[in-house]
Amino acid sequence: MSGVITQRVAINAPPKEVFEALMDGRKHAAFTGNPAKLSRKVGGVFRCYGNYIEGVNLAVVSPKLIIQAWRAGNWRKDTYSIVTFKLAKLPKGRTQISFTQIGVPDWDRHNKSKGWHSYYWDRLNAYFAAN
């Protein structure tokens, strides 16, 4: 069985900067502290967190939308989920990310749900606070 993760978070930076941090390999590595190679093209591949995360871009609309086929290194090789990042402008130069991840293996859903907060949302806010 597989499940869904749904999260809504506020990031303390404008959508364009958040989009860039998520899609630029150098900026992604800066906020995560781990190597990242990212394509911005539909059909382009990405690898993050030292190849622990990998996948393919399904839709990219700067600075509003990223949809990816996404898998973690501890999943079976044929298992992918679909992640969607919707970025919307909030007051005071902030961004709301409406995030969903569909197709997460049930045994890993809790860890991945926590992981998005600790490895992405918290680190993004820390990155923008420092820059």
**Count of structural domains, the chain:** 1
Domain that holds residue 34: 2-130
Mean predicted confidence (pLDDT) in 68-93? 97
Q: What is the pTM of this model?
A: 0.95
For the domain that residue 100 is a member of, what is the CATH number? Answer: 3.30.530.20
Q: For the chain, where are the E strands, in sequence order?
A: 2-11, 36-38, 45-48, 53-61, 65-72, 81-90, 94-105
Q: pLDDT tens, 12-56?
A: 999 999 999 999 999 999 999 999 999 999 999 999 998 999 999
